[in-house]
Structure 1
């Protein structure tokens, strides 16, 4: 596996930090080397948020991401701010409410998915968007086995919400599968 440098972005309160923690743990459970970090403004809820995870088969000596190989954006403002410096050919997943300029979509594989709307319509909870996103990212990049992904999700969610969150992570994978079938 080539080194993957993941950047998750959104608004504070969308769970992007938890998303990168889950991705890192799932990859770790499959024996990969991982590093996770985050940053957000003093606004916390509603302000821009960025969290990152590096996944590699080899030891990770440098833990800062300068040009991500993958970008997830759940809000337009976060996409506009954090999409400026991407690795050549980086993969991008955005919520389908996010507009991606043609200059970016010509250089990168972009999957626009109804992440937030699916959280509302299918799961019944908007806060499930980050778990749906984790399922989508893992399906797109194959960073961890489905078993490890589900185990990592279950380790970080409130008791009593297991079935709902497993449904969400599986829905994220299905969104990517369905989109790729129609392309």
Structure 2
């Protein structure tokens, strides 16, 4: 990993992407002992408006908590892609939900499509775990934390009754992203 790695999770309010960012920051800092900060931004709407969560992970202390040159970005909706898929560095990664964000903005970065919401609904049976699928995919694509650390952080955040559901969702996202990269 380079000195500083910046990730942005974006979508609609209520999709759990701020939670995904918090989980990633905890995987990096608490489990792997790296420096990490997480910040968030969302519109005035409680649900449905564009929202983002940014995570910065580094080997050294992080002096500025906002993403400036994004290494990897996730956009779950077209509005989020249009609004937040900017500042992605040359050679960076943009992961789009193929059903809800079909149009990638222009840029010198790699674009990948994954039907995240559809996978949550058809493969897992619960759309509520789409954020965990997305998190698994982003971890697989970036390698910013290990697969095991990501899973451990996810499972530490969910109630006991939902451990198996989230474990399955995380693995699905991770494996689907590995297939995209292959």
TM-score bucket of the superposed structures, by smaller chain: over 0.9
TM-score computed with the length of structure 1 as normaliser = 0.93
Count of residue correspondences: 179
Aligned residue in 2 for 1:166: 167
Query: Which residues of 2 match residues 38-49 of structure 1 at below 5 A?
Result: 38-49=40-51
CA deviation digits over 1:8-59, x for unaligned, max 9? 1000010110010111111111121100010111102111101100011111
Hey, what's the Cα distance between the residues in 2 that align with 1:84 and 1:164?
33
TM-score computed with the length of structure 2 as normaliser = 0.93
Aligned residue in 2 for 1:99: 102
Aligned residue in 2 for 1:24: 25
Query: Which residues of 2 match residues 44-123 of structure 1 at below 5 A?
Result: 44-97=46-99, 98-101=101-104, 103-104=106-107, 107-123=108-124
Aligned residue in 1 for 2:135: 134
Q: Specify which structure has the higher proportion of strand.
A: 2
Hey, what's the Cα distance between the residues in 1 that align with 2:86 and 2:62?
24
Structure 1 unmatched runs, 5+: none
CA deviation digits over 1:71-122, x for unaligned, max 9? 1000111111112332222211111121234733xx1111111111100001
Hey, what's the Cα distance between the residues in 1 that align with 2:161 and 2:105?
43
1:135 partner SS: helix
Asked if the contact 2:8/2:73 (under 8 Å) is kept, the reply is: yes
How large is the Cα RMSD of the aligned pairs?
1.3
Hey, what's the Cα distance between the residues in 2 that align with 1:36 and 1:12?
17
Structure 2 unmatched runs, 5+: none
